[in-house]
Structure 1
Amino acid sequence: MREFRNPALVTAPQAGGLADAVFENARVDPDRVQLGRKEDGAWRDVSAAEFRDQVLALAKGLIAQGVRFGDRVVIMSRTRYEWTLFDFALWTIGAQPVPVYPGSSPEQVAWILYDTGAVGCVVENEEHAMTLGSVVDRLPALARVWQLDAGTVEELGAAGERIADGVVHRHRLAVTPGAVATVIYTSGTTGTPRGCVLTHANFMAECDNLIARWQPIFASHHHEQPSTLLFLPLAHVFGRMVEVGAVRARVRLGHQPEMSATALLPDFVAFRPTFVLAVPYVFEKVFAAARAKAEQDGNLGVFDRAVETAVRYAEARERRSFGTGPGPTAALRLRHRFFDRVVYSKVRAALGGRVRNAVSGGSTMSRRLGLFYDGAGLTIYEGYGLTETTAAATANPPGRVRYGTVGPPVPGTAVRLTEDGEILLRGPIVFSGYLGDPDGTAAALCDGWLATGDLGSIDEDGYLTITGRKKEIIVTASGKNLSPVRLEERVREHPLVDHCIVLGNDRPYVSALVTLDLEAVRHWLSLRGKPPVHASDPAADPDLRAEVRRAITAANTLVSKAESIRTFRILSTPFTEESGLVTPSRKLRRRRVEEAFAREIEAMYEARPTPQAPQAR
């Protein structure tokens, strides 16, 4: 076994809980801006003192309506200010918020509420209330339902006016680091979601060590308060970690409920964050939008040369940081300065103009995309973690980013590889177990080590690279073993491709299903004077099919002939979270995809392809 450990920089407090930071921030610096709140299309600052008062008022209202220490309350909403308010109000009285994705089905909602024994549920709107109403007869413990869009924050505030402040503080002071903070259900790529029990100490260890190690992100520069716009779902552990970390680091935090580029880009400009935390999909979309704009303006050649220069510049700086090269040459620095004025500054402007650092997680990012952003003036620290590890367990550190990897262990964490390459994790960020599932907990945790089910490799500097999942290894009929991840990522680098899933278990050769980015397709066809394609057949144009074939051919250069994609099909149906084919972090649910498109998969294997090039079916 190979193992790397990273000593903790901060130890978890011996007393108190997550809500204490709200009250401490207001005591130390009551006028400091703690959050940004969007009202009527404009951003308004919320001070530390104002936020504390709102948390206190809501906590009193929850007590008045029967929520008690240790109770569980489900929150089903998009990412918004009120979610953070409820989280900290519930933590203040020792209750446990349980997140639910807003697009969850009635069966998923019923399972989580029943499994947790939740006494209350916060929903965002009438649609969510109707979803809950359809299963409420199966939830005997559920006593209260609150709806955000129906003024529930104000109602609870009024209900709690008769509760003394001291009652709330007695609850807060009874919370210990080892107390349960939340139960987060894994979205999962297979199987029934399981509730991960995370403590206040888990979040403290995670956030405080990240804040200490990644000071360039959280520190003020040129008298600018650090700020971030949270658009990740708060039902996901990554979003929750951002929320907690922002309050503990006294970072100005804003909320945006939509993760699409159309919704995000205007708020980037208006909110002007100093750093962002996102999944690779967001960075891919920003890059694609910049490239499409350059192509529309007739500057695609300039843009592509700028990309190549950024990649080479970042690679040279990377080699220098690891002592294997002198850094960018004078000629490269000159070209970089030119493209910084005409290209890179526009990319940064699209993110608000102040962003210089970012964190990416949830799924893997291509090395080339990371290098481009670094060369364009935005350092992306890619990391890796699970719900069971309170988000990041590894991450690239400041000054020593190795793109294409997810970095060494975060402070306080150890990473070990088994003989078959499975990643094991250990440290104070690792959860205490699955709710009501001792057998599942025992299978996942052995002597404090969490078996992740992910496969990886560790280089001589302790940097981890994710190579796949044990359950996703493809074994062809000839006995050839391969991980589909590298092929899929390379195909997805093409701007027209949205998703790619590689198949071949017990089959004579490897195949792939591909979905297209319809917005990119419309742009591509328009620039070439071609008629728009019908949604039922987005790959009707032969030149479009040829583009996808080129992406497949490029991916095949990464592997041997036996591992290469021999045939593919372009689907008219996208893989979406709503259809249940991807997780909220856009990871493929492979089993569900294979079930949904079983007919298309069988059709690809009806006729054997020619060996010269991948064939579209």
Structure 2
Amino acid sequence: MAVAPPVGGLADAVFDYAEEDPHRVALGRKDADGRWHDVTAATFRDEVLALAKGLIAHGVRFGDRVALMARTRYEWTLFDFALWTVGAQSVPVYPTSSAEQVFWMLHDAEVSAVMVEHEDHAMTIASVIDRLPQLKRLWQLDSDAVTELVEAGVHIEDEVVHRHRRAVTPDSVATVIYTSGTTGRPKGCVITHASFMFEADTMASRWESVFHSKPGDEAATLLFLPLAHVFGRIVEVTAVRGRVKLGHQPELSAKALMPDLVSFRPTFILAVPYIFEKVFNGARRKAEAEGRVGPFDKAVEVAVKYAEAMEHRAFGTGPGPSAGLRMQHQFFDKVVYKKIRDAMGGRVRHAMSGGSGMERQLGLFFEGAGVTVYEGYGLTESTAAATANPPERTRYGTVGQPLPGTTVHIADDGEVWVYGANIFSGYLGNPQATAAVLHDGWLATGDLGALDEDGYLTITGRKKEILVTSGGKSVSPAGLEERVRAHPLVAQCIVVGNDRPYIAALVTVDQESVDHWLTMQGRPPMNSADLVRDPDLEMEVRRAVVAANTAVSQAESIRTFRILAHQFTEEHGLLTPSLKLKRKAIETAYAVEVDALYP
């Protein structure tokens, strides 16, 4: 079990790394032409030190809060560790945030300086700056802010920076991360250096074996999760503390991501289920276009059976794959599974998934295809993961066991409570909200779940999202929505029915998959208005709904649904930056469509 060190802070790892192994490659950095360049531990240390001097020269002091508003890129990690070096607190802001969201976070956190990525972000800040009298500095990455700061700090002595660094203690605040605000105004989670160090070191010690493609190789991961989200931040911190080569990719989309996976060649990745769904659906579409969908589907069936047999063997409930199944698996490994691994860079054998639930069958498929996906669960308030599947015994369909040093308890009403050194200090300036979730060190997560006989946690829904029909039936929508989304043509699903006579759903479709589906039927492309009335598409979505309903009682089943012309987007305020549904906003925006489901 990892124990947070009694002294020091997060930045110390950068300086210790450079001292002990200066020539080891710590990061990969992509240039404007798309080529990757190695950054050694010593080079990164020197860049952090130089930027820290610049921050001091620009008036950043111990305990100051500095906002970071950018996509996932090298400079974010550089700024994070430079700020921690001088004892400042970083406040991540999603680059897609609206002006009012930005104002609220900067005002609430009393931010004194902001790093933004480009002019659009700068203009967003400018539109609210008259209401932020405490904001004194703004740096723009695409206007060479790093060079500007480094030049400003040239006259600062190294020892000045180190005095700041040595003043940081584990209980110092490292960051204030704002919640995504699915149910109201975002709240600032205060997270200490100790919580980050405990979380990162626990992950690095317990899951170190999965960082590698094979024993003895150099571990490397490509970070494409938003660094404004706690999941992305813990990847960043764990990579530096665990000495894993770290690359950055700014686009959380399969189209932008896949080429960088191939060029960077990570040994493992950390992602959300959306990415694994895209990889799978893309591979199936390609097979169908080449007239090989039959063999592909057979390969999927074999992968799932093989993974289930391996799972049974791991838990002592079966002998493992039969000789015949092993032969089939070996055949498909060459003709199907290897291509999927190659699409992920060729070296990925392990992955971690979080942020939302992954469908069991999808996890089993990737396991059978040679990429073990360890699903976990956590919140911003728990500094990312509170539970995760262990390397030697993964139980698909669950989010694993509590991390070493962390305890999970299921309250009488089914709510998941978590206790450990990774639990946050509270909500910034909001003791009432803090008291509502922290009880003698226990975090009441707001999620509903169950622990099995082996201590594996299954998340069944959110307390605040439970629907109660007019007949008094309580329904957790998350499981139904996840099962409907398993259909390749479905992009999103939101279940409705609160105070209504039955459960219904609004469904959006994946345009890329639909275009491919139409092509395979020999039909021309269709505009969205015609598509939502297409009887064949409706039949496909109905199949997804019927399949989802098999897992619940009749009273909990989706009775009817409506296909929408457009997906829910963050730009329209219907998704959080981490792609979670904003239920109230969606039901308000589509009130007419929801009412039409209940004639």
Please state which band the TM-score falls in when normalised by the shorter chain: over 0.9
Letter in 2 for 1:309: V
Whether the aligned pair in 2 keeps the contact of 1:383 and 1:407 (CA below 8 Å) is yes
Matching of residue 115 in structure 1 with residue 111 in structure 2: no
SS of match in other structure, 1:515: strand
Letter in 1 for 2:77: T
- Once the two structures are overlaid, the 10-residue window that deviates more, 428-437 or 469-478, is 469-478
Determine which structure has greater relative contact order: mean sequence separation of CA pairs < 8 Å that are 6+ residues apart, divided by chain length. Answer: 1
- How far 1:340 sits from its partner (Å)? 0.4
1:79 to 72, 79, 84: 72
SS of match in other structure, 1:415: strand
Matching of residue 12 in structure 1 with residue 25 in structure 2: no
Spell out, residue by residue over 1:460-509, the C-alpha distance to the aligned partner (whole angstroms, 9 max, x if none): 11000000011111111111111111211111000000000111111111
User: Which residue is 1:476 aligned to?
Assistant: 469
- Once the two structures are overlaid, the 10-residue window that deviates more, 578-587 or 70-79, is 578-587
User: Which residue is 2:500 aligned to?
Assistant: 507
- Once the two structures are overlaid, the 10-residue window that deviates more, 574-583 or 130-139, is 574-583
Matching of residue 311 in structure 1 with residue 292 in structure 2: no
1:36 to 24, 28, 33: 28
| 1:339-350 to 2 correspondences below 5 Å | 339-350=332-343
Alpha-carbon separation, structure 2, partners of 1:468 and 1:543: 32
Matching of residue 57 in structure 1 with residue 54 in structure 2: no
Matching of residue 592 in structure 1 with residue 553 in structure 2: no
User: Which residue is 1:414 aligned to?
Assistant: 407
Letter in 2 for 1:582: L
User: Which residue is 2:256 aligned to?
Assistant: 263
Letter in 2 for 1:86: F
Alpha-carbon separation, structure 2, partners of 1:555 and 1:153: 51
| 1:43-192 to 2 correspondences below 5 Å | 43-192=36-185
Whether the aligned pair in 1 keeps the contact of 2:414 and 2:450 (CA below 8 Å) is yes
Spell out, residue by residue over 1:14-45, the C-alpha distance to the aligned partner (whole angstroms, 9 max, x if none): 00000000000000000000000000210000
Letter in 1 for 2:543: R
User: Which residue is 2:204 aligned to?
Assistant: 211
Alpha-carbon separation, structure 2, partners of 1:537 and 1:37: 45
Matching of residue 299 in structure 1 with residue 309 in structure 2: no
- How far 1:277 sits from its partner (Å)? 0.2
Letter in 1 for 2:146: V
Question: Relative to structure 1, is the Cα distance of residues 334 and 110 closer, same or farther in structure 2, using a 3 angstrom cutoff?
Answer: same
User: Which residue is 2:435 aligned to?
Assistant: 442
Whether the aligned pair in 2 keeps the contact of 1:36 and 1:254 (CA below 8 Å) is yes
Whether the aligned pair in 1 keeps the contact of 2:212 and 2:267 (CA below 8 Å) is no
- How far 1:541 sits from its partner (Å)? 2.4
Whether the aligned pair in 1 keeps the contact of 2:212 and 2:268 (CA below 8 Å) is no
2:219 to 222, 226, 233: 226
Matching of residue 365 in structure 1 with residue 358 in structure 2: yes
User: Which residue is 1:542 aligned to?
Assistant: 535
Letter in 2 for 1:242: V
SS of match in other structure, 2:375: strand
Spell out, residue by residue over 1:569-604, the C-alpha distance to the aligned partner (whole angstroms, 9 max, x if none): 000121122222122222211111111101100011
SS of match in other structure, 1:156: helix
- How far 1:188 sits from its partner (Å)? 2.8
Letter in 1 for 2:458: T
Whether the aligned pair in 2 keeps the contact of 1:444 and 1:450 (CA below 8 Å) is yes
Alpha-carbon separation, structure 2, partners of 1:32 and 1:416: 42
User: Which residue is 2:390 aligned to?
Assistant: 397
User: Which residue is 2:450 aligned to?
Assistant: 457
Matching of residue 245 in structure 1 with residue 262 in structure 2: no
Spell out, residue by residue over 1:159-211, the C-alpha distance to the aligned partner (whole angstroms, 9 max, x if none): 00000000000000100000000000000321100000000000001010111
Letter in 2 for 1:306: A
- Once the two structures are overlaid, the 10-residue window that deviates more, 187-196 or 570-579, is 570-579
- How far 1:61 sits from its partner (Å)? 0.3
SS of match in other structure, 2:461: strand
SS of match in other structure, 1:536: helix
Whether the aligned pair in 2 keeps the contact of 1:363 and 1:585 (CA below 8 Å) is no
Alpha-carbon separation, structure 2, partners of 1:303 and 1:219: 28
User: Which residue is 2:367 aligned to?
Assistant: 374
Letter in 2 for 1:97: S
Alpha-carbon separation, structure 1, partners of 2:417 and 2:357: 18
- How far 1:224 sits from its partner (Å)? 2.4
- How far 1:221 sits from its partner (Å)? 3.6
Alpha-carbon separation, structure 2, partners of 1:160 and 1:99: 24
Whether the aligned pair in 2 keeps the contact of 1:384 and 1:393 (CA below 8 Å) is yes
1:571 to 548, 560, 564: 564
Alpha-carbon separation, structure 2, partners of 1:388 and 1:587: 17
Alpha-carbon separation, structure 1, partners of 2:571 and 2:304: 35
Spell out, residue by residue over 1:518-563, the C-alpha distance to the aligned partner (whole angstroms, 9 max, x if none): 1110111011111111033432322111101111111111111111
Unaligned stretches of 5+ residues in structure 1: 1-8, 607-617
Report the TM-score, using the length of structure 2 for normalisation: 0.99
Alpha-carbon separation, structure 2, partners of 1:174 and 1:201: 14
User: Which residue is 1:3 aligned to?
Assistant: none
- Once the two structures are overlaid, the 10-residue window that deviates more, 181-190 or 571-580, is 571-580
- How far 1:284 sits from its partner (Å)? 0.5
SS of match in other structure, 1:567: strand
Whether the aligned pair in 1 keeps the contact of 2:409 and 2:417 (CA below 8 Å) is yes
SS of match in other structure, 2:402: coil
Whether the aligned pair in 2 keeps the contact of 1:186 and 1:387 (CA below 8 Å) is yes
Alpha-carbon separation, structure 2, partners of 1:60 and 1:457: 50
Matching of residue 320 in structure 1 with residue 317 in structure 2: no
1:582 to 575, 579, 584: 575
SS of match in other structure, 1:341: helix
Whether the aligned pair in 1 keeps the contact of 2:178 and 2:188 (CA below 8 Å) is yes
Flag as ranges the 4+ runs of structure 1 deviating above 4 A.
Answer: none
Unaligned stretches of 5+ residues in structure 2: none
Count how many residue pairs are aligned between Structure 1 and Structure 2. 598
- How far 1:223 sits from its partner (Å)? 4.4
Alpha-carbon separation, structure 1, partners of 2:360 and 2:579: 18
Alpha-carbon separation, structure 2, partners of 1:189 and 1:402: 29
Whether the aligned pair in 2 keeps the contact of 1:43 and 1:271 (CA below 8 Å) is yes
Alpha-carbon separation, structure 2, partners of 1:561 and 1:453: 26
- Once the two structures are overlaid, the 10-residue window that deviates more, 484-493 or 44-53, is 484-493
Whether the aligned pair in 1 keeps the contact of 2:213 and 2:350 (CA below 8 Å) is no
Alpha-carbon separation, structure 2, partners of 1:28 and 1:143: 38
Letter in 1 for 2:164: H
- Once the two structures are overlaid, the 10-residue window that deviates more, 223-232 or 192-201, is 223-232
Spell out, residue by residue over 1:446-467, the C-alpha distance to the aligned partner (whole angstroms, 9 max, x if none): 1111111100000011000000
- How far 1:261 sits from its partner (Å)? 0.7
Alpha-carbon separation, structure 1, partners of 2:269 and 2:52: 30
% same residue: 67
Alpha-carbon separation, structure 2, partners of 1:128 and 1:559: 46
Spell out, residue by residue over 1:236-263, the C-alpha distance to the aligned partner (whole angstroms, 9 max, x if none): 0000000000000110000000011110
User: Which residue is 2:16 aligned to?
Assistant: 24
